[in-house]
Amino acid sequence: MFGSDNSGAIRKALEVCRAVADGDFEARVIGITEKGEAGELLRSINLLIDRTDAYVRESQACLEYVRDNKYYRRILEKGMTGSFLIASRTINDATQVMEDKVKDFTVVADDFEKNMKSVVETVASAATELQATAQTMESTADATSQQATSVAAAAEEASTNVQTVASAAEELSSSIAEISRQVSQSNEIASNAATEAERSNSQVQGLAEAAQKIGEVVELISDIADQTNLLALNATIEAARAGDAGKGFAVVASEVKNLANQTAKATQEISDQIGDIQSATQDAVKAIGGITSTISEINQISSTIAAAVEEQGAATQEIARNVEQASQGTTDVTTNISKVTQAAGETGQAAGEVLTAAGELSQQGEVLGTEMDKFIVELRKVI
């Protein structure tokens, strides 16, 4: 398409495009003899310029009418396509909106004229009423001053009461902080006690196991004592059979028997003692378990109390903050009441000035009527 054979077409296209870019919408590619895509390109350029030129001319004509406050001129949409059509419709819609706004503005101007005339009449009437109101203001200012004095006294008393409450809230906050510290310390002690109880429980369990082992040893000794006693009995019988030759052996067998009996008696006492130890150990285990459970409950209660104290502390701080705000509020009230008293005096003075201003207002009402008439005349020139 852009070979050497089409160089002339390209030059034509460039010349026309440059002219259009400089604002010359009269420029066209003339004498198109090229065939194929080159000719199609040149004709497309002309078509683009035609549509752009039509859009610019129509837009200019429409906007010139709008400039002269004429809103009936619209862009002819016939032949417009794509973005040109969208832009044309947008301008037409905007022109219609402006026309509607101007019509509305005309109605508003009429209403404004009518209302302003009513306002002028009202101002004249208000000037008369203002004089009567000014006299009432003087009486009201005196009454306000007296009431403000009473309110100031009440505000001062309220401020004193609020300060008392603030001091009490501060003391309460300090007490809650101390309670919180004590509860925290109690919680720590309970936690340590629970740890010690657990350790004691382990030691008692070890003691119970040791007692059990001792019992097993005692039982073994008891069995040995029984066997020894049985052997001593057999030895005594054999010594009796031996006659005089076995007397010495019989004495030894008797001593062994006595020792076996004593051993059996001792082992029985030890067994009884170990039973008591095991029973006491079990009781201790149960007691320590109960202590551990109780300490755990105490720990939970302490935690609950700590949480409650924390919430109460927060609530107390909120109370203190609110009391502080209330205190500031009463101070502000006292200050404002003083200002009200001062303002009441100034109001009484101003009431006299209002009487003078009422007369001037009546004169200004007449001036306003004249100026309003001039404004309406100029306004109608615009629309």
Residue at 116 is within a domain: no
Structure confidence at residue 270 (pLDDT): 66
Q: What is the pLDDT of residues 368-383, one digit of tens each?
A: 888 888 888 887 776 6
Structure confidence at residue 151 (pLDDT): 42
Note whether 187 and 298 are same-domain residues. Answer: yes
- As a whole number of angstroms, the distance between CA 321 and CA 327 comes to 10
Note whether 27 and 167 are same-domain residues. Answer: no
Q: What is the CATH number of the domain that holds 192?
A: 1.10.287.950
Note whether 43 and 191 are same-domain residues. Answer: no
Structure confidence at residue 244 (pLDDT): 81
Angle at 140 between CA 137 and CA 145, to 5 degrees: 125
Residue at 286 is within a domain: yes
Note whether 52 and 201 are same-domain residues. Answer: no
Q: Which two tokens stand for residue 119?
A: 């306002």
Structure confidence at residue 49 (pLDDT): 92
- As a whole number of angstroms, the distance between CA 18 and CA 309 comes to 87
Structure confidence at residue 20 (pLDDT): 92
Residue at 281 is within a domain: yes
Note whether 280 and 166 are same-domain residues. Answer: yes
Instruction: Say if CB 369 and CB 138 are below 8 A apart.
Output: no
Residue at 150 is within a domain: no
Note whether 192 and 327 are same-domain residues. Answer: yes
At a CB cut-off of 8 Å and minimum separation 6, what does 240 contact? 246, 250
DSSP H stretches of helix in the chain? 7-21, 36-67, 82-242, 247-382
Note whether 56 and 170 are same-domain residues. Answer: no
Number of domains into which the chain is organized: 2
Structure confidence at residue 161 (pLDDT): 59
Structure confidence at residue 1 (pLDDT): 47
Note whether 162 and 53 are same-domain residues. Answer: no
Would you give per-residue pLDDT tens digits along the chain (383 residues)?
445 567 888 888 899 999 999 988 888 988 888 888 888 999 999 999 989 989 998 999 899 999 988 888 898 888 788 888 899 889 989 998 988 888 888 888 888 788 878 867 876 786 778 677 567 667 756 775 677 566 456 457 756 756 774 776 688 678 767 847 886 886 786 688 678 768 877 876 887 787 788 678 778 878 877 888 888 788 888 888 888 877 787 887 788 788 878 878 888 886 888 788 678 768 866 876 885 787 588 478 567 847 875 887 787 688 578 758 877 877 785 687 678 568 667 867 877 786 787 788 778 878 888 888 888 888 777 66
Residue at 87 is within a domain: no
DSSP state of 3: S
Note whether 322 and 207 are same-domain residues. Answer: yes
Backbone dihedral angles phi then psi of residue 111, each to the nearest 5 degrees: -65, -40
Task: State which of 68, 84, 116 marks the end of a domain.
Answer: 68
Task: State which of 25, 47, 68 marks the end of a domain.
Answer: 68
Nearest to 87 by CA among 58, 64, 107, 109: 58
Residue at 338 is within a domain: yes
Structure confidence at residue 145 (pLDDT): 66
Q: What is the pLDDT of residues 262-312, one digit of tens each?
A: 878 888 886 888 788 678 768 866 876 885 787 588 478 567 847 875 887
- As a whole number of angstroms, the distance between CA 152 and CA 212 comes to 88
Note whether 60 and 194 are same-domain residues. Answer: no
Residue range of the domain that includes 239: 156-350
Residue at 54 is within a domain: yes
- As a whole number of angstroms, the distance between CA 209 and CA 285 comes to 12
Structure confidence at residue 335 (pLDDT): 80
Residue at 382 is within a domain: no
- Distance (Å) of CA 111 to CA 2, 45, 105, 108, 116: 69, 55, 10, 5, 8
Q: What is the CB neighbour count within 10 angstroms for residue 288? A: 20
The helix-helix angle for 247-382 and 82-242 (nearest 10°) equals 170
Q: What is the DSSP string of 16-84?
A: HHHHHHTT-TT----S----HHHHHHHHHHHHHHHHHHHHHHHHHHHHHHHHTT--------TT--HHH
Note whether 190 and 44 are same-domain residues. Answer: no
Task: State which of 24, 51, 68 marks the end of a domain.
Answer: 68
